[in-house]
Amino acid sequence: MNTTRGDKPAFHDGGHEHQSCIEDALARADDVCRERGVRLTPLRRRVLELVWSSHRAVKAYDLLAALGDAVGAAKPPTVYRALEFLMAQGLVHRIDSLNAFVGCPQPDHRHSAQFLICGGCGDVSELNAASIDRAVADQAADSDFALSRSIIELHGRCPRCATLPPTP
C-alpha cells in the first residue's frame, strides 16, 4: 500500500504492483465487516473490487457496465445499493465533484478525509490531515456553525503529471 497516512508519504507510485492494493483492500473489508456483523456479500465485494481496480474515481455506470460483462446486464439500483452499503461502512468515498467513487484505504476507523485529484491521470489520493481538520473546525466554530460533514476535494496535478497545462 502506498496511499498517504497523514504524515509524509505522497501520491501513488506509477510502477507499483497494484494487485496487492486490491487484495489488501478486500482483506481489510472482510475484516471490518466481520467485526461489525454486516454482510459483505459477493455482489458488494465484487463492486468494491471494481472500485479498487485503479486509484482513479470510478463512475457508477462504469461499474454497472463492468458488472454486466456477461449475459444479464446489471441494472442501476444494483450498483447504487452496493455503493450505498460500501459508503455506509466507510469502504468507499464519493467524490462529489466527479460524481464518482473511490476506495478508502483506511476503512477501520471513522475519519474526515481530504482528496487530492489529479486532472492529468485522474488518480485520487486520500489525505487525513489534522491541520486541515483543525482549521476547518476553528472556522466553523467562529461562525457558531455545528459541523457535521466536511467535503474537501482538491483538484490539481500529481507529481508525475506536473508538466501538462494546469487543468484544461
What are the residues binding a second copy (CB under 8 A)? 4, 8, 10-11, 96-97, 114, 116, 118-119, 125, 127, 129, 131-132, 134-136, 138-140, 142-159, 162, 166-167
> 167: helix, coil or strand?
coil
Q: Which is nearer to a second copy, 74 or 158 (CB)?
A: 158
Residue 56 contact, options DNA, Zn ion, a second copy, none, Cβ 5-8 Å cut-off depending on partner type? none
Query: What is the grid cell recorded at 142?
Result: 467562529
- Phi (first) and psi of residue 153, to 5 degrees: -125, 115
Cα 79 to the chain's mean position, in Å? 16
Q: At its nearest, how many Å lie between Zn ion and the CB of residue 60?
A: 21
Report 21-50 residues binding Zn ion (CB under 5 A).
21
Q: Which is nearer to a second copy, 11 or 101 (CB)?
A: 11
Nearest of 91, 4, 97, 21 to residue 59 by alpha carbon: 97
Give the range of 2-10, 38-46, 105-113, 126-134 binding DNA by CB under 7 A.
38-46
Q: Rg of the Cα trace of the chain?
A: 17
> 37: helix, coil or strand?
coil
Q: Rounded to whole angstroms, how far apart are CA atoms 92 and 102?
A: 5
Residue 122 contact, options DNA, Zn ion, a second copy, none, Cβ 5-8 Å cut-off depending on partner type? none
Among residues 79, 98, 113, 158, the one that binds Zn ion under rule CB under 5 A: 158
Helix (H) or strand (E) holding 109: none
Residues near DNA, by CB under 7 A: 38-39, 41-44, 59-61, 72, 74-78, 80-82, 84-85, 99
